[in-house]
C-alpha cells in the first residue's frame, strides 16, 4: 500500500527512530520492497533491459549479510490483485508512471525502471539460496504484520503503511538497514546489521500524545493506495486544525501534521470518526463511515497463519477459499511456482503488462507474445463443452476474453483479447484446470512446444536448461514484427553462450577444460573493453524487449503446464542487456566478433548448433 507523504515527513525529522543492532532474530521481510530496493542498488542497466546476474548477486550478498549476523529471514511477497480489485486505480496510476519513465529512458533521460523479469529472478534466487518465502494470495501487508507479531520480530520493508501497523517488534525501513556495513563486535554476541527502528511511541508523543489506535483512521482519511482524498475534501475544507498548523495547511505535510494534531484530542477512533462525519452532508455520512471502517481494517494484522505455512507448506486464507481455485493452483501460487499474473487472469480476467524501454512509436513489445498469452488464458478459462452455465460467453460458445492493460504508443490502454481455442486433446472433459497436473507430461510438453512453434526433436541437441530459452528464441524470430535482424539474433545467441561458458567455468567442474578457461578469460577482456560503450539503438532495444516478453510468457506457460521443460535460471547470465547491446553494436562493425569463443571447441559448437536450429 502506501500513505501519501508520510515517508518523506518521517524521514525529514528523523526523531522518530531508535538505533537497532539486528542479530540473532527472525526477520519478516516485505519481498516486493526488497527486490525493488536491491534492483535499484545493483547498478542494473535500466535502459537496456536489465542485468539479472548483477541483481542476483546483490540478492545473494544481502542474505549472506543476514546469515553472518545469525538473522533468520522469512520473505513475504505480494500476490495478485484480489477478487475485489480495490487497488485498480492506484495500479493504473503506477503503470502510467512506469510508461513515462520508460519513455524518458528511451530518449536518453535518467531514471529507474524495474526490468521485466526482476520478480521472476528474485523468486528463483530465493529458492536457490534456500530462503523461506511465501507468495500471498493478494497484497501481503496484513500477513507480514500478522507473522511478525506472532514471532515478536521486526518487519523490514520500505512501505509507509508499516508506520501505522501496531507491530510488536517494530518496523525497520530498508533505507536505514545497513546490510552492506555489517559491524563486528567483541564477545559472544558477534556481528550485527546497523539499523533504525521506527518508534510509534515517539511519533504519537510528538502529536500531543496521540492514541496509537488512531493511526489507521489517520491513514485512511489522509489517503492511501485504496482510498483517495476526493471523498473527504469537504472535511478538509471545513475543519479547523489546532493553532500552529494552519499556516502550513496548503502543503502536503501541513495537512498531514494538522490532521494528526487534530486527531490527538480524541480518546479513540470511534469518537474521532463521529467527529469527521459531522463535517459531511448527512446523506454521505453512512457511506463514508462504511468506507473508512472497511479501509481501517487493512491495518489490522491478518489471521492467516503464515507460521503454519512455513512449517507445513499449506497456505490457507479466506479469500483463497472464496475464489474456489483448484488446490494445486493455490499451492503453486503460495510457493511462487505460479505468478500473480495467473491468478489475476483466472479471477479477474484482467492483467497488467509491464512496459519496458522500447520504441513508443511501435506496437507494444508485449504484442509479440500475445499468442502465448492467449493459450495461457485458454488453459485457465476454457469451458467444458458439456457444462451448463448462465454466462453469455458460455451460452453462445464464445471464447472468454481477458482485459489487458498495455501501452498504445505513450498511453496506457485497456485491450480485450480472446482466449485461444486449445487443441482437441486439451479440450475434452477429462482435462479441466483442476486435473491439469494429471495430463501426461508428453501432452503438456506438446502443447508448450506447439505454442512456440518448435518440435522436441529440434531441441534434443540442446542442454535441457536451455531448451525453453531456445524454443522462445525460435518463436521470437518467427513472430516478431518488424522482423528481427540477423545481427540481433547472433548477439542474443552469443549472449546465451557466454552465460553457459560462465556457468561451466565458475559453478560446476573445477577440472574444466583449459580451452574453456582460455575462452572465458578472453571473453572477459573483450567485455571489459566494450562495456564502456554508450551506443544505444532503440530499434534493437525494442527487439530485445520483445524477446524478454516472449521469455516471460514462455516461463508462465511452462509453469502452468507444471514444467514439462526445465526452468531456465535467469541469474546465470541468461540475459544481460548491457552485453547483448554491446555484442549487437560490435557485430555491425566487426563481424569477426562472432568467433569470440573460438578458443573453446565446445562453445563454438554450441553457438553453431543454436544458430542453425533457430535459422532453420
* Percent of the chain clearing pLDDT 90 (strictly above): 78
Q: What is the pLDDT of residues 361-404, one digit of tens each?
A: 999 999 999 999 999 999 999 754 444 433 444 445 678 999 99
Does domain 6-242+254-299 correspond to CATH entry 3.40.140.10?
A: no
Task: Report the pLDDT averaged over residues 102-129.
Answer: 95
Is 246 a residue whose pLDDT tops 50?
A: no
C-alpha distances in Å from residue 502, one per residue of 461, 528, 607: 20, 15, 14
Pairwise pLDDT comparison (423 vs 470), residue with the higher score: 470
3-class SS at 72?
strand
Which is nearest to 411 in space by CA: 97, 88, 49?
97
Q: Is residue 229 a contact partner of residue 223, using CB atoms and an 8 Å limit?
A: yes
Is 243 a residue whose pLDDT tops 80?
A: no
Helices (H) and strands (E) in the chain, counts: 26, 10
Q: What is the pLDDT of residues 281-320, one digit of tens each?
A: 898 899 899 999 999 999 999 989 999 999 999 999 999 9
Q: What is the pLDDT of residues 87-110, one digit of tens each?
A: 999 999 999 999 999 999 999 998
Q: Is residue 339 a contact partner of residue 556, using CB atoms and an 8 Å limit?
A: yes
* Percent of the chain clearing pLDDT 70 (strictly above): 92
Q: Is residue 115 a contact partner of residue 44, using CB atoms and an 8 Å limit?
A: yes
**Torsions phi, psi for 156 (to 5 deg):** -110, 120
Is 247 a residue whose pLDDT tops 50?
A: no
Look up the pTM and report it: 0.94
Residue 370 grid cell:
500475445
Is the peptide bond preceding residue 359 cis, with omega within 30 degrees of 0? no
Residue 296 grid cell:
481501517
**Average of per-residue pLDDT values in the chain:** 91
3-class SS at 352?
strand
Q: Is residue 488 a contact partner of residue 543, using CB atoms and an 8 Å limit?
A: yes
Where are the chain's structural domains?
Answer: 6-242+254-299, 327-382+399-615
Pairwise pLDDT comparison (529 vs 479), residue with the higher score: 479
Q: What is the pLDDT of residues 63-73, one digit of tens each?
A: 999 999 999 99
Determine the pLDDT at residue 530: 82
Is 499 a residue whose pLDDT tops 70?
A: yes
Is 259 a residue whose pLDDT tops 90?
A: yes
Q: What is the pLDDT of residues 136-195, one digit of tens each?
A: 999 999 999 999 999 999 999 999 999 999 999 999 999 999 999 999 876 667 899 999
State the number of CA atoms in the 13 A half-sphere of 364 facing the CB: 23
Amino acid at each position: 500500500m502506501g500513505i501519501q507523504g508520510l515517508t518523506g515527513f518521517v524521514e525529514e525529522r528523523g526523531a522518530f527512530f531508535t538505533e537497532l543492532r539486528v542479530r540473532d532474530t527472525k526477520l519478516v521481510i516485505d519481498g516486493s520492497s526488497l527486490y525493488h530496493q536491491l534492483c535499484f542498488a545493483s547498478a542494473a542497466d535500466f535502459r537496456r533491459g536489465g542485468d539479472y546476474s548483477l541483481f542476483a548477486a546483490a540478492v545473494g550478498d544481502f542474505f549472506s549479510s543476514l546469515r553472518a549476523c545469525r538473522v533468520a529471514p522469512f520473505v513475504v511477497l505480494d500476490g495478485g490483485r484480489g477478487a475485489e480489485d480495490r487497488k485498480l486505480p492506484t495500479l493504473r496510476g503506477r503503470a502510467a508512471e512506469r510508461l513515462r519513465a520508460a519513455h524518458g529512458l528511451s530518449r536518453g533521460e535518467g531514471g529507474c525502471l524495474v526490468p521485466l523479469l526482476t520478480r521472476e529472478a528474485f523468486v528463483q534466487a530465493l529458492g536457490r539460496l534456500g530462503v523461506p518465502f511465501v507468495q500471498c494470495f493478494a497484497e501481503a501487508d496484513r500477513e507480514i504484520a500478522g507473522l511478525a507479531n506472532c514471532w515478536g520480530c521486526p518487519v523490514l520493508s520500505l512501505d509507509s503503511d508499516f508506520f501505522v501497523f501496531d507491530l510488536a517488534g517494530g518496523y525497520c525501513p530498508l533505507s536505514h538497514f545497513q546490510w552492506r556495513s555489517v559491524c563486528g563486535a567483541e564477545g559472544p554476541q558477534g556481528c550485527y546489521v546497523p539499523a533504525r527502528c521506527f518508534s510509534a511511541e515517539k511519533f504519537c508523543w510528538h502529536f500531543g500524545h496521540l492514541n496509537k489506535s488512531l493511526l489507521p483512521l489517520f491513514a485512511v482519511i489522509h489517503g492511501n493506495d485504496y482510498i483517495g482524498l476526493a471523498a473527504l475534501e469537504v472535511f478538509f475544507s471545513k475543519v479547523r486544525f489546532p493553532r500552529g498548523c494552519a499556516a502550513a495547511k496548503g502543503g502536503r505535510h501541513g495537512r498531514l501534521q494538522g490532521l494528526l494534531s487534530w486527531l490527538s484530542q480524541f480518546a479513540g477512533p470511534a469518537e474521532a470518526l463521529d467527529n469527521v462525519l459531522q463535517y459531511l452532508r448527512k446523506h454521505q455520512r453512512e457511506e463514508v463511515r462504511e468506507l473508512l471502517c472497511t479501509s481501517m481494517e487493512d491495518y489490522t494484522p491478518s489471521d492467516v497463519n503464515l507460521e503454519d505455512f512455513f512449517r507445513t507448506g499449506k497456505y490457507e486464507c479466506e479469500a483463497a477459499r472464496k475464489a474456489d481455485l483448484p488446490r494445486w493452483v493455490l499451492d503453486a501460487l503460495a510457493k511462487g511456482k505460479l505468478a500473480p499474473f495467473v491468478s489475476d487472469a483466472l479471477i479477474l480476467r484482467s492483467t497488467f503488462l509491464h512496459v519496458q524501454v522500447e520504441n513508443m512509436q511501435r506496437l507494444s513489445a508485449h504484442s509479440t507474445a500475445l499468442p502465448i498469452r492467449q493459450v495461457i488464458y485458454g488453459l485457465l478459462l476454457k469451458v467444458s463443452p458439456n457444462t451448463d452455465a448462465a454466462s453469455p460467453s458460455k451460452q453462445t460458445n464464445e471464447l472468454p476474453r481477458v482485459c489487458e492493460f498495455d501501452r498504445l504508443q505513450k498511453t496506457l490502454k485497456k485491450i480485450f483479447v480472446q482466449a485461444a481455442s486449445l487443441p482437441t486433446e486439451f479440450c475434452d472433459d477429462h482435462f479441466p484446470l483442476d486435473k491439469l497436473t494429471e495430463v501426461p507430461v508428453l501432452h503438456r510438453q506438446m502443447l508448450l512446444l506447439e505454442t512456440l512453434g518448435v518440435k522436441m526433436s529440434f531441441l534434443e541437441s540442446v542442454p535441457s536448461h536451455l531448451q525453453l530459452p531456445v524454443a522462445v528464441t525460435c518463436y521470437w524470430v518467427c513472430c516478431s514484427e518488424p522482423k528481427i535482424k540477423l545481427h540481433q539474433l547472433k548477439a542474443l545467441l552469443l549472449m546465451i553462450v557466454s552465460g553457459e561458458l560462465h556457468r561451466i567455468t565458475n559453478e560446476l567442474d573445477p577440472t574444466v577444460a583449459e580451452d574453456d578457461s582460455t575462452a572465458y578469460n578472453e571473453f572477459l577482456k573483450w567485455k571489459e573493453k566494450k562495456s564502456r560503450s554508450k551506443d544505444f539503438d532503440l530499434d534493437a532495444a525494442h527487439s530485445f524487449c520483445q524477446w524478454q516478453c516472449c521469455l516471460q510468457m514462455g516461463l508462465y506457460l511452462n509453469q502452468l503446464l507444471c514444467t514439462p521443460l526445465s526452468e531456465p535460471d535467469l541469474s546465470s547470465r541468461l540475459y544481460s542487456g548491457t552485453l547483448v547491446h554491446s555484442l549487437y553494436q560490435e557485430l555491425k562493425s566487426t563481424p569477426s566478433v562472432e568467433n569470440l569463443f573460438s578458443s573453446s571447441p565446445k562453445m563454438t559448437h554450441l553457438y553453431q548448433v543454436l544458430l542453425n536450429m533457430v535459422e532453420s
